[in-house]
Amino acid sequence: MTRCAKCRLGYSPEVPADRRLHRKIHDEAVFGVPGTIRRMDKVIWSDAFRKITVVRHRTASLAERNRAERVAQWARQDTDFDFAAYHARDSDDGRDAHVSLLHEADRIVGFLVMERRDFTRKLTWSEWDDPTAKGPYSEMTRGAEMWSIGMIWVHVKHRRQGLATLLISQAMKSLGTEMEEVGWYTPFTESSQALARKLCPTDFFVAK
Domain with residue 153: its CATH number is 3.40.630.30
Q: Residue 130's pLDDT is what?
A: 83
Q: List, in sequence order, every residue forming a beta bridge with 55; answer none if it has no partner.
A: 99
User: In which region does residue 165 sit, left (phi positive, over 0), alpha (psi from -120 to 50) or beta (all else)?
Assistant: alpha
Distance CA 204, CA 179 (A): 9
Report the amino acid identity of residue 90: D
Q: Residue 134's pLDDT is what?
A: 62
Q: Residue 16's pLDDT is what?
A: 79
Same domain, 26 and 113: no
Same domain, 126 and 68: yes
Q: Residue 137's pLDDT is what?
A: 67
Question: Strand, coil or helix: what is 46?
Answer: strand
Same domain, 12 and 107: no
Of the two residues 178 and 93, the one the predictor is more confident about is 178
Same domain, 21 and 117: no
Q: Which stretches within the chain are classed as H helix?
A: 16-31, 62-76, 125-129, 163-175, 190-199
Same domain, 18 and 63: no
Q: Residue 78's pLDDT is what?
A: 84
Determine the average pLDDT of the residues in 174-202.
96
Q: List, in sequence order, every residue forming a beta bridge with 204; answer none if it has no partner.
A: 123
Same domain, 19 and 87: no
Distance of CA 156 to CAs 6, 29, 31, 153, 206, Å?
11, 9, 10, 9, 26
pTM for this predicted structure: 0.90
Same domain, 68 and 89: yes
Same domain, 6 and 51: no
Long-range residue pairs from 80-85, CB within 8 A, at least 24 positions apart, any chain: 85/113, 85/150, 85/151
Domain that holds residue 143: 32-207
Residues 6+ apart with CB under 8 A from 13: 2, 19, 22
pLDDT of 61 higher than 70: yes
Same domain, 128 and 52: yes
Same domain, 172 and 121: yes
Same domain, 73 and 175: yes
- What's the structural domain count of the chain? 2
Same domain, 69 and 114: yes
Q: Residue 200's pLDDT is what?
A: 98
